């Protein structure tokens, strides 16, 4: 199938221009399990709407190497499956050198899997803002993913727009 036939019902283009404003803030997220998923969508949305930015984007960055962030639906059964598939793709028990303390590694946390899961999931998201709202689909939620909890984590938020 040609992709050019795949695009239908385009909306009108919304345009805006002006002086850029930037709002930056670090929030903390407390996790309670070794692998823990948290829906932080409401807090993210509140920060964005308080800035009054009409058009631009929000950057969300987890400031750690053993925790990540992604977007998906927030449903109990699916959250269980997310943890199961992450364990399947990057198992906790594998022949990791990072866990060979002190022979190969200066780290005694036995957390190689926590680091490596972050490579698959990602540490950062960019979410557009349009007409003063975060642009997310009906079922899309921002999910913080702890891979080495319980822990207290820093997440940097930056709204950039006009």
Footprint on residues 93-152 left by its own copies (CB under 8 A):
94-98, 100, 104-107, 112, 115-116, 118-128, 130, 135-140, 144, 152
Cis bond before residue 107 (omega within 30° of 0):
no
Please state, in angstroms and rounded to a whole number, the distance separating the CA atoms of residues 42 and 50: 12
Of 32, 93, 109, 133, which lies in the binding site for its own copies, with binding defined by CB under 8 A?
32
Give, to the nearest 10 degrees, the angle between helix 112-121 and helix 76-89: 110
Please state, in angstroms and rounded to a whole number, the distance separating the CA atoms of residues 157 and 60: 5
Of 87, 92, 110, 160, which lies in the binding site for its own copies, with binding defined by CB under 8 A?
160
Give 35 or 112: the residue with its C-beta nearer to its own copies. 112
Contact 71, 142 (CB under 8 A): yes
CB of 47 to its own copies, least distance (A): 8
Q: Is 21 in the site for its own copies (CB under 8 A)?
A: yes
Q: Is 154 in the site for its own copies (CB under 8 A)?
A: yes
Of 34, 73, 132, 148, which lies in the binding site for its own copies, with binding defined by CB under 8 A?
73
Please state, in angstroms and rounded to a whole number, the distance separating the CA atoms of residues 162 and 160: 7
Of 57, 147, 149, 151, which lies in the binding site for its own copies, with binding defined by CB under 8 A?
57
Number of residues that bind its own copies (CB under 8 A): 102
CB of 35 to its own copies, least distance (A): 13
CA-wise closest residue to 150 among 43, 39, 66, 72: 66
């Amino acid at each position: 199938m040609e992709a050019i036939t795949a695009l239908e019902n385009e909306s009108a283009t919304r345009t805006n221009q002006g002086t850029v404003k930037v709002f930056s803030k670090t929030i903390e997220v407390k996790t309670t399990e070794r692998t823990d998923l948290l829906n932080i969508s409401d807090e993210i949305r509140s920060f964005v709407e308080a800035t009054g930015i009409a058009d631009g984007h929000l950057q969300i960055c987890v400031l750690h190497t053993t925790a990540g962030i992604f977007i998906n639906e927030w449903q109990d059964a699916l959250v269980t499956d997310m943890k199961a598939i992450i364990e399947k793709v990057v198992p906790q028990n594998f022949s990791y050198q990072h866990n060979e303390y002190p022979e190969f590694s200066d780290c005694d946390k036995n957390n190689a899997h926590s680091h490596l899961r972050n490579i698959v999931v990602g540490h950062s998201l960019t979410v557009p803002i349009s007409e003063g709202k975060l642009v997310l689909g009906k079922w899309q939620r921002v999910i913080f993913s702890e891979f080495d909890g319980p822990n207290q984590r820093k997440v940097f938020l930056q709204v950039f727009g006009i």
